Amino acid sequence: MNAGELGKYGEELAVNYLSRKGYEILDRNWRHKQDEIDIVTRIGMWLVFVEVKTRSGNAYGKPYESVDNRKEKAMIRAAEAYIEEKELDENIRFDIISVLVSGEDDVLIEHIEFAISL
């Protein structure tokens, strides 16, 4: 599986994970200019912007460790554009879903809520 396929596979796993947890999926791969939000979802009083990071091994660290300051700022910009475009006024948070795929049946999903603070 190449990097693009791995990323898409990880996002599918993340969507399924969130759905099973009761999250309502609103949008996927939502773009504004050069910025993108992988998943926009809602649960309870929260509008949640989710970044999904997928890796096939942890030689370079856990997948979520690759979300750097530049990516955080891009997520915040995209979220602001999303809220403005949809004319929303809700409590928001930023989560990261880390997917580690070691084999077809060996997948570790870590969901980090409130991963980015404003």
Give the model's pLDDT for residue 95. 97
User: What is the reported pTM?
Assistant: 0.93
Q: How many CB atoms lie within 10 A of CB 33?
A: 9
Structural domain including 27 reads 3-116
Give the CATH number, domain containing residue 30: 3.40.1350.10
- Measure the CA–CA gap between 80 and 39, rounded to whole angstroms: 14
Intervals of the chain under pLDDT 70: 104
Mean pLDDT, the chain, integer: 92
CA dist., res. 99 & res. 62, Å (int): 9
CA distance 116 to 21: 21
Token pair 């077809």 in the structure block, residue: 104
* Total of domains in the chain: 1
